[in-house]
Every structure is written in structure tokens, then in C-alpha cells.
Amino acid sequence: MISFDFNSPVEELRFPLFDDKGIRVFIKRDDLIHPFISGNKWRKLKYLFLKAEVEEKKHLVTFGGAWSNHLLASACAAAKFGFKSTGIVRGENLQNEMLFLCRLFGMELHFVSRESYRDKPALFESLFSNAEDAFFIDEGGASPEAAKGCSELIDELDEVYDHIFCACATGTTAAGLINGITKHSFNSRIHGIPVLKDGGFIRQEINKYLISENGFELHTDYHFGGYAKTTPALLQFIQNFSQRTAVLIDPVYTGKMMYALFDLAAKDYFKRGDKILAVHTGGLFGLLGMRERFLL
Ligand SMILES: *Cc1c(COP(=O)(O)O)cnc(C)c1O
């Protein structure tokens, strides 16, 4: 029986900056949903697993880079719900902490060249055309089902926030949040922080998943050089934030999102009295691959 019910808690973040600016900032702790099926990945996988169950598919096939939170979440969810799983990994065969955990959960890994990785449906077709129970899940879980799962975060909120922030890679999570506020007719503004360079393209990606048109903001200047790129300022920020709040954030996703929120607050982007919610999209194991970048 597949059950994905879990309401993550909301906590207030107390910083002198927020008092100075007269704003209140809260964090939706999706990182607490599950240690491995973490954050938005839990929400994104929900309707994909339910669909696989309906179609009587028992073998999940999905895609990711060698540090993909999605691969780990898929491996663990497959184990939890009794599925076989295969992860197709971009690039040369290697070992790291993340892939080790994927294997522990029973995921079989196939490494493919960056070139053949580009066409995922073709890869799936060539490797699994004869496997009737194989179920395709795109990189990062990107799909209308995933956006639907993410929209349910909004159902869990007890109050209406003026602004809601999340990190964006495929944009599926942001799209789900926008659909959630559309559904509830909330007056909240969704803010996406693309974690990769030239993130403007995410606007089209988000629009693909919207149930009806709704405005949103993309802040494309907080990529810190590109996907998984960092700067000393970002790493220092993450260290300070984690020490003050006991909430871990990572340099690839939530660190950039939170940095943007603080930076915008410092620049008087918000109005006094505004209530802001930051979504902690989880995925903290990537931190282990970045240990050496921190000056600790
Ligand atoms: C995968 C991931 C994201 C990106 O979500 P999209 O729906 O692809 O935009 C954001 N934060 C974390 C922690 C993630 O693991």
C-alpha cells in the first residue's frame, strides 16, 4: 500500500535583519519528511508511484547526475514500496557517497556518456524495450504528476503568506506551488530561485505545468556561477545560517534560495508587515560531496 501522507512543520526564523525590516520569515521543513526521500522529491514522486501502481509496473527506471537527490529519493522510495529500481547516471563510472546509498537501497546503476544521456526516452527504449514492467521517470521526476504532488504543500498551510520562496532546477516544484495558490485563490507571490546559470528558460518550463496562468517571480542572479558552483560568500552564509538556526541548508539548492531571500530583505525588497515562507526542499546529502569547499 503506497502512502505519502505527511505534513511537514513550519518554523519561524529569527534574525535581527528581519526585525529591522519589519518582516516575518518562516520555513516549511520538507527536509524533515524523510531522511532519504527528502523534501520536494517526496512530493514529486507521490503521483508517479501511484501511476506506476495503477499500471502494474514494478520496475522504476530514472535518471540523474552522480550527486542527484532524485536518484537517492527514487532508490529509497522504490525499496519502501516494493519496486525494483534502475538509475541511469550521466557520465563515467564512479563511486561516491550518494551512489553508495542508492546501491544500498537496491538500485542498479548504469553509467552512460553525456551524449547518450541527453535523449532519455531513447535510452529507456534501448535498454528496457522488452521489460514490460519498466516505468519511466524523467530526470528530477519532472512531470505533471510531480507538479501535482508539489501543489499539495499549499494545502498544508494554516495561514496565507505574502511571499513563498523555493529553489528551482526543472521548475516543477515552483509550478506546483503556483498551482496550489491558484487552487486556493491565495494572494501569495511565488518566487523561484534558479540554481543554474541563465535560469530564465525556467519560465517556459514552469508555464508548461500551470493549470491556469498566474504571475510569479524568477530571481536569476543567485546561481553563484552555475549548477553546483559556489562562492566563499555562499559557503560562509550557509555556515552562519546553520549555526544560528540548527537547520542545515546546502550549497546547490536551499543555500542559494535562502541567500536570495536574505539579500532581497537587506535591499528592502519586501514591505513592512510581510510574511514570507521559504520552502526547505530537502536534499542535504549533496553536502557530503562539497565538504572540502568549506573552510572548516
Ligand atoms: C531537486 C531539488 C530541487 C529542484 O526542484 P525542481 O522541481 O526540479 O525545480 C530543489 N531543491 C532541492 C533540495 C532538490 O533536491
Q: Which three cell numbers stand for residue 239?
A: 555556515
Phi, then psi, of 243 in degrees rounded to 5: -65, -40
pLDDT at 1 over 70: no
pLDDT at 276 over 80: yes
Q: Which of 70, 173, 206, 259 to mutate to test the pocket of ligand 1 (most atoms within 8 A of CB)?
A: 173
Q: What does the pLDDT average to over 259-272? A: 98
pLDDT at 2 over 80: no
86 in contact with ligand 1, CB cutoff 6 A = no
pLDDT of residue 200: 94
What is the CA(130)–ligand 1 centre distance, in A?
32
Q: Which tens digits make up the pLDDT trace of 198-242?
A: 999 999 999 999 999 998 999 999 999 999 999 999 999 999 999
Beta bridge partners of 10: 28
Nearest of 256, 142, 248 to residue 191 by alpha carbon = 256
Amino acid (one-letter) located at 61 = V
Euclidean distance between CA atoms 256 and 1, whole angstroms: 37
Q: Which tens digits make up the pLDDT trace of 128-173?
A: 988 999 999 999 999 999 999 999 999 999 999 999 999 999 999 9
pLDDT at 76 over 80: yes
pLDDT of residue 239: 97
40 in contact with ligand 1, CB cutoff 6 A = yes
What is the CA(100)–ligand 1 centre distance, in A?
21
Element (H, E) at 193: strand 189-194
Name the pTM for this structure.
0.96
Q: What does the pLDDT average to over 37-49? A: 96
Q: What does the pLDDT average to over 256-272? A: 98
Q: Which tens digits make up the pLDDT trace of 49-74?
A: 999 999 999 999 999 999 999 999 99
251 in contact with ligand 1, CB cutoff 6 A = no
171 in contact with ligand 1, CB cutoff 6 A = yes
143 in contact with ligand 1, CB cutoff 6 A = no
What is the CA(254)–ligand 1 centre distance, in A?
9
Res. 4 pLDDT band, cuts 50 70 90: confident
What is the CA(110)–ligand 1 centre distance, in A?
22
